[in-house]
Structure 1
Amino acid sequence: MLTFETVNELTLKVTCTGSDVLFTKAGAFIAGENAGGKNYKFEKVLLGPQNNIGQALLGQLARRVTGENLPLMKVTLNGDSVTYYANYGQHVVVYHLEQGETISVESENILAFSQDCDYSVRFIGVGVLSQKGLATSTLIARGKDAYVAVLCNGNPIVLSNVMSQDTLSVDPDAVVCWVGNGHCDPQVTADISWKTFIGQASGESYQFEWHGNCPVTVIIQPSERRGGISVSMD
């Protein structure tokens, strides 16, 4: 059994009781401890975390085509241990998914996930308006120990309309991930006027929106990725 927790906001601590398997961003391991001889090992994932070879090949092809190809490392844990993972001082957010819950996240923001998560890539129509294109990585919980650790540039902000049923509106280039039952993809709202075409845009020409009938939790970072659509005339 695995449990995920953060240490000093910048490090993922994984506690293993018994034997288990973990998938992380390649090279993310920074330290580990256990009684006796070292009881965990690392190996590069060549195709994908899927057990079925055919599914792994299709998954690898989809990730390469869409640009969501995350270099993965498989960590095999053979006994009680504590291991630590990080990525260039980025902030770490841990999410424990409920059975059937789905997290949609950019591949570059994935630090680690447990084997109780199904990992895949899917196309989303709204992706054309973000910096990454038409696809996003998806992790679906298929067991009670479904943990995901994601990376943020700076301290994250968590928004949720699960209880309030409020409308959530965010900048696509600040979104790290969103979590809900099912894919819960956002709608796109655009604010384009004649000023946009003469270079006098507000800088917030489009946004992602989730309405009250789509309960979701969204994690955003206080840093916008470079990208998106620039519509103006010099």
Structure 2
Amino acid sequence: MEKKEYTLNELILEAAENPAENDFFELEKPAMLEINLKNQKILSKAGSMVAYIGNIDFKRESMLSKGLGGLLKKAISGEGASLMYASGTGKLYLADGGKKVKIIKLQDEAIFVNGNDVLALEESISNEIKMLKSVAGMVSGGLFQVRLAGSGYIAITTHGEPILLKVTPGQPVFTDPNATVAWSENLTPSIKTNITFGSFIGRGSGESFQMEFMGQGWVLVQPYEEVKYTQK
């Protein structure tokens, strides 16, 4: 049961960071990512910095930026927003609307992540942005996929605790695009439409348009339909 009241000392003990932990990407709290920079650079979602200690410089990517910032700008932050580079030495704390943070250490591997759910990535991680054009206009803002590959840390966010569903040959998995967080590299999603069911429910996204995953792999789904922005 969640504690309803604290003495000041109890609050300090529970909420204080753990100084003994100094991993590069570290889960300080369920919804708080701590990044320990030692003359390093990372890329994070714009506006996700909540605090830092030390000598850390921040740089926002402009609307006309190319390369990594240009690719991820739209996928992670939406139209008109920008990304943030952080470099230097110190402790950086990131969060995104109270969503839970999951840290993944890729070891010469690759996964696909919904662009809205990428919180941070190590500079060594390569990326490629794609969009399921068939879902553009059907799901608010379309659906951007970020392929993250290589060796290093990434951090993704979820509303609540996600569930991992296994995909096997002959047993596809269907998901709501707005609840789909990530999936294994060897799966390529397609869009399945069910207009009749969607019309019956009276909604225009999740129920009438689903992502279909076929093959061998897994899909990570959160217990929440997240709509970040609306494409006009």
TM-score (norm: length of structure 2): 0.69
> 1-side partners of 2:149 and 2:164: how far apart?
20
Q: Is the 8 A contact 1:47 1:59 kept in 2?
A: no
- The structure whose RCO (Cα within 8 Å, separation 6+) is larger is 1
Q: 1:13 maps to what in 2? A: 34
Matches within 5 A, 1:1-234: 3-16=24-37, 18-33=38-53, 38-46=54-62, 55=67, 59=71, 63=74, 67=78, 71-78=82-89, 81-106=90-115, 108-128=116-136, 129-133=138-142, 135-142=143-150, 144-145=151-152, 147-161=153-167, 166-181=171-186, 184-193=187-196, 199-201=199-201, 204-211=207-214, 213-215=215-217, 217-225=218-226
The 3-state SS of whatever aligns with 2:108 is: coil
**Structure 1 counterpart of 2:55, one-letter code:** N
Question: Once the 2 structures are TM-superposed, how far is the Cα of residue 10 of structure 1 from its aligned partner?
Answer: 0.6
Change (3 A) 1:68 1:101: farther
User: Where do 5+ consecutive residues of structure 2 fail to align?
Assistant: 1-21
> 2-side partners of 1:5 and 1:40: how far apart?
17
Question: Once the 2 structures are TM-superposed, how far is the Cα of residue 58 of structure 1 from its aligned partner?
Answer: 6.4
Q: Is the 8 A contact 2:69 2:83 kept in 1?
A: no
Question: Once the 2 structures are TM-superposed, how far is the Cα of residue 210 of structure 1 from its aligned partner?
Answer: 1.3
> 1-side partners of 2:123 and 2:23: how far apart?
10
1:186-205 CA distances to partner (integer Å, 9 max, x unpaired)?
Answer: 12333344x76xx5348633
Question: Once the 2 structures are TM-superposed, how far is the Cα of residue 9 of structure 1 from its aligned partner?
Answer: 1.3
1:75-101 CA distances to partner (integer Å, 9 max, x unpaired)?
Answer: 1124xx432211232222222233241
**Structure 2 counterpart of 1:200, one-letter code:** F
Q: 2:3 maps to what in 1? A: none
**Structure 2 counterpart of 1:159, one-letter code:** L
Change (3 A) 1:55 1:76: closer
The 3-state SS of whatever aligns with 1:185 is: coil
> 2-side partners of 1:74 and 1:117: how far apart?
14
Identity, % of aligned positions:
22
Stretch deviating more after TM superposition (6-15 or 123-132)? 123-132
Q: Is the 8 A contact 1:25 1:70 kept in 2?
A: no
Change (3 A) 1:178 1:186: same
Aligned residues: 201
Q: Is the 8 A contact 1:122 1:137 kept in 2?
A: yes
1:142-184 CA distances to partner (integer Å, 9 max, x unpaired)?
Answer: 3x21x222222223223333xx655322111211232324xx3
> 1-side partners of 2:226 and 2:66: how far apart?
34
Q: Is the 8 A contact 1:117 1:139 kept in 2?
A: no
**Structure 1 counterpart of 2:130, one-letter code:** R
> 1-side partners of 2:154 and 2:80: how far apart?
17
TM-score (norm: length of structure 1): 0.68
**Structure 1 counterpart of 2:28, one-letter code:** V
> 1-side partners of 2:149 and 2:71: how far apart?
18
Q: Is the 8 A contact 1:126 1:186 kept in 2?
A: no
> 2-side partners of 1:226 and 1:59: how far apart?
20
User: Where do 5+ consecutive residues of structure 1 fail to align?
Assistant: 228-234
> 1-side partners of 2:95 and 2:192: how far apart?
35
> 1-side partners of 2:104 and 2:202: how far apart?
34
